[in-house]
Chain A
Amino acid sequence: MSEFAVILVHTTSEAIFTERILKAAGFDIKLIPTPRHLSSDCGSAVRILMSDKEDCLEALNEAGLVLDRIEPLEI
């Protein structure tokens, strides 16, 4: 199983919004270029720890963010 998951977002504003919420909640995250095999939609995506996936989703839902999707990150 992958160590990381990647949150795909629609826009860079959304990437920054996601980063802001997750960082404030103390999650270990990083903005990365959107993996080409997953989407051509936006320049940036948010990498999180796979183990944090459910908690991250909950934090983002609470903030009212509608995500594109979350995928495992294959390195």
Chain B
Amino acid sequence: MIYLDHAATSWPKPACVHEAMERFMRDVGASAGRSAHRLSLEAERIRFDAREVIGCLLGLNDPMRVIFTPNATTALNMVIHGLLTRENSHVVTTGMEHNAVMRPLRALEQSGVTVSIVPCQSDGMMHATSIEERIKPNTRLIVVNHASNVCGTVLPVRQIGEIARRHGIPLLVDAAQTAGAWPIDMHADHIDLLVFTGHKGLLGPSGTGGLAIHDDFNLDLLPPFIHGGTGSQSEEETQPNLMPDKYEAGTPNSVGLAGLAASVHYLMDYGLEQIVAQEQKLTSRLIDGLDEIDGVHVIGPMELNQRTAVVSFNIESIPCSEVAHHLDQQFDIMCRPGLHCAPRTHRTLGTYPDGTVRFAPGPFVPIEEVDRAIEAVTTLAEQRLNV
């Protein structure tokens, strides 16, 4: 089997991830932060280790500002709802967003929030200055997708961060596609709030994700999103104003975080530069191979330094869902067709409502498998001509 759906969920995971989760289930098992016995403390040590290594990967100093949530969507909702509570709030976003951003924004429009969407080019690229042009006196948040889950386009986050910093507006970055797959330094990039997921580039299990908060961000601006038990200040019936408990009510996914800690250590040991280099090699082969096929259209930027390893394409006159079905049934290739939960992005790319076929190789996919995928698409494109 050839698995080219890493932009949805990376798989297989490094063996250390299975081992850490198996060890946790067998030898630890308890709830982090809930009791003082040795198993609970060991669970807390593992969770803290996950905070520390993720903070290190993202260029943060304070591990207590790495907050865990069940997924990136929850963390995005936490910030979007939290920072747009004031009356007459305005937010700037882009034409490359996922529904994890667009749906909370659309929901908030019902209560009076206004949304400016910066249009992007047909390959998803944009100039940071077009963000600045839309800033108003009541702009409370800028939210941008670091890299597209449809076509891999990387947005100019550092330049956007400089603009946000100059205007004193918090910048929220959706790094679901870039954490573990692209260099991130929250200080150098001026990112106030960064949302990550554990199950894609970070190589961890599903059900893990979170929010990383810049060391200088004023926490008073962001209220808790979920209220409930934290294991701290139990005498109080209000949410504690303590980090990280302020944002972490409810039992954590301790076994998931054990897997995530292991996967991020693995990534750090392996080296992000090496990961990026391997992915670029695969992406280059994919783009060049697909682009040569008669009747195949590759979507997104062609330059490797402006994109992640997510390649979208279409075969003329074959619906993308049929292409993906044939790839699965005839060629044993797993990929994702359709709109990828990102209708706004597909509108920008000119592929709405039909969608695209998406190949997303992880860094450890052998290049021979990419070649076999290109051959399979070639065969399907030729079959189209013979129908």
Contacts and interface: CB of A to CB of B under 8 A. Distances in A.
Interface of A: 10-17, 19-20, 31-34, 40-44, 64
B36 A33 contact: yes
Contact of A17 (B61, B63, B232): B63
B225 to A, nearest CB: 18
A46 to B, nearest CB: 11
B386 to A, nearest CB: 63
A13 B235 contact: no
Interface stretch (B40-48, B262-270, B324-332, B344-352): B40-48
Nearest to B38: A31
B235 A43 contact: no
B51 A43 contact: no
Given A11-B231, A19-B45, A43-B34, 18 more contacts: A11-B230, A11-B242, A12-B32, A12-B36, A12-B232, A13-B47, A13-B48, A13-B51, A16-B44, A17-B48, A17-B63, A33-B36, A41-B232, A41-B233, A42-B231, A42-B232, A43-B35, A64-B62
A13 B36 contact: no
8 contacts: A11-B242, A12-B44, A13-B64, A16-B48, A19-B45, A34-B36, A42-B231, A64-B62
Interface in B36-68: 36, 40-41, 44-45, 47-48, 51-52, 61-64
B33 interface: yes
A31 B245 contact: no
Given A11-B245, A12-B32, A13-B33, A44 B62 contact: no
B64 A17 contact: yes
A64 B60 CA distance: 13
Nearest to B33: A12
Contacts of B41: 12, 15-16, 31, 44
A43 B231 contact: yes
A32 B62 CA distance: 24
A20 B47 CA distance: 13
Contact of A10 (B35, B40, B62, B242): B242
B229 interface: no
Contacts of A14: 64, 242
A41 B51 CA distance: 22
A32 B33 CA distance: 14
Contacts of B319: none
B207 interface: no
The 6 A-B residue pairs with the shortest CB-CB distance, nearest first, are A43-B36, A16-B48, A12-B33, A11-B232, A33-B36, A44-B36
B14 interface: no
Nearest to B215: A64
Nearest to A19: B45
A3 B41 CA distance: 24
Given A15-B44, A44-B41, A10 B232 contact: yes
Contacts of A41: 232-233
Interface string B332-376: 000000000000000000000000000000000000000000000
Nearest to A11: B232
Contacts of B234: 40
Interface string B127-145: 0000000000000000000
B70 interface: no
Contacts of A44: 36, 41
A6 B139 CA distance: 47
Contacts of A10: 232-233, 240, 242
B234 to A, nearest CB: 7
Contacts of B61: 64
A71 to B, nearest CB: 17
Given A11-B231, A13-B244, A40-B235, A31 B62 contact: no
B215 to A, nearest CB: 9
Contacts of A34: 36
B63 A11 contact: no
B36 A31 contact: yes
Contacts of B242: 10-11, 14
Nearest to A32: B36
A20 B48 CA distance: 9
A27 B188 CA distance: 35
